[in-house]
Amino acid sequence: MNKEIEVFNHKFKNPIMPASGCFGFGYEFSDLYDLNILGSIALKGTTKEARYGNPLPRIAECPNGLINAIGLQNPGVIKVCSEELVKLNEVYKDKVLANVGGHSIEEYIYVTEKFSKEDKVWGIELNISCPNVKGGGMAFGQDPEIAYNLVKEVRKVCNKPLIVKLSPNVTDITKMAKACEKAGCDGFSLINTLVGMRLDLKRKKPIISVTSGGYSGPGVFPVALRMVWQVYEATKLPIIGVGGISSARDVIEMMMAGASLVEIGAYNLVEPLACKKIIADLDNVMNELNITNLSDIIGIAHC
């Protein structure tokens, strides 16, 4: 069974990578299994300056998933490059995908420039769900024109594959994708989290300190699959499918819908060996479905 995927000018031993925010900076999981079985790793979202994130509580359990409002907690891009990537390189030898966040175009540019100089990084995943301070708080990923301007400027300083992580919290995700494609991106990862909330019935108040947060987990899989399908049809740029994937069968389904690679997110928080188990089970599912090369099924459901 051949699980190799070649995309974004990089050869991946398999399409499986932990999603940003659900795997730390990677090395934290190295005591549990050999990380080198992974196709790649999407790093924790990184900003220009260190961020503590939102006040506690910032996680709430839900049926078929969870809500988080971590708030991009990270040590800042300088420390990520000088410390976190060094620690990760000791236990994981392949290259990784850097996830970039920010609240202004200037911040996105700064962080992207830093990661673009790192040999350990094969690509930039641009998280455009951050509030645009100069745009009155609207997220970069909710307005095609704002997203276009951001991607166009970041593209000027990015010398690696530029992958835009699209928000599902829009009326038409294909408009966002087309705007980013026009601005010069190389592909997409989708979806980011849906917006949700939970109430504490005893306190009669929201559980999350900032009221609402990002809903992720198996419950969002059908939404993610539908949006991957739509973006594949609208642009034909490579896609990283993410959102509710928790089994090898989910991986196959997401790839048939159009994803070249997949990211495993919230399931890592439920089952720390999630990626290892999914990779191990891929052979069984491929054999069952008479799949010899995983690359052959990308977008096959559209034929």
**Run of H or E residues at 221:** helix 221-235
Give CA torsion, residues 29, 12, 285, 255, to 10 deg. 110
Q: What is the pLDDT of residue 270?
A: 92
Q: What is the pLDDT of residue 292?
A: 98
Superfamily in which the 5-302 domain is placed by CATH: Aldolase class I (3.20.20.70)
- Sheet strands (E) in the chain: 5-7, 10-12, 16-18, 59-62, 65-68, 96-100, 121-127, 162-165, 187-190, 194-196, 199-200, 205-206, 213-216, 239-242, 261-264
Percent helix, strand, coil in the chain, to 5, is 40, 20, 40
Cα–Cα–Cα angle for 300, 301, 302, rounded to 5 degrees: 90
- Sheet strands (E) in 105-152: 121-127
Strand partners, 195: 214
Residues 6+ apart with CB under 8 A from 150: 105, 108, 126, 128, 140, 183
Q: How far apart are the first and last CA of the chain?
A: 23
Give CA torsion, residues 241, 280, 12, 43, to 10 deg. 60
Report the alpha-carbon distance of residue 42 to residue 280 in Å, rounded. 20
**Run of H or E residues at 269:** helix 267-270
Tell me whether residue 130 is one of the annotated catalytic residues.
Answer: yes
What does the pLDDT profile of the chain (303 residues) look like in tens digits?
899 999 999 999 999 999 999 999 999 999 999 999 999 999 999 999 999 999 999 999 998 999 999 999 999 999 999 999 999 999 999 999 999 999 999 999 999 999 999 999 999 999 998 776 566 556 899 999 999 999 999 999 999 999 999 999 999 999 999 999 999 999 999 999 999 999 999 999 999 999 999 999 999 999 999 999 999 999 989 999 999 999 999 999 999 999 999 999 999 999 999 999 999 999 999 999 999 999 999 999 998
Q: Which of 81, 130, 158, 185 is catalytic?
A: 130
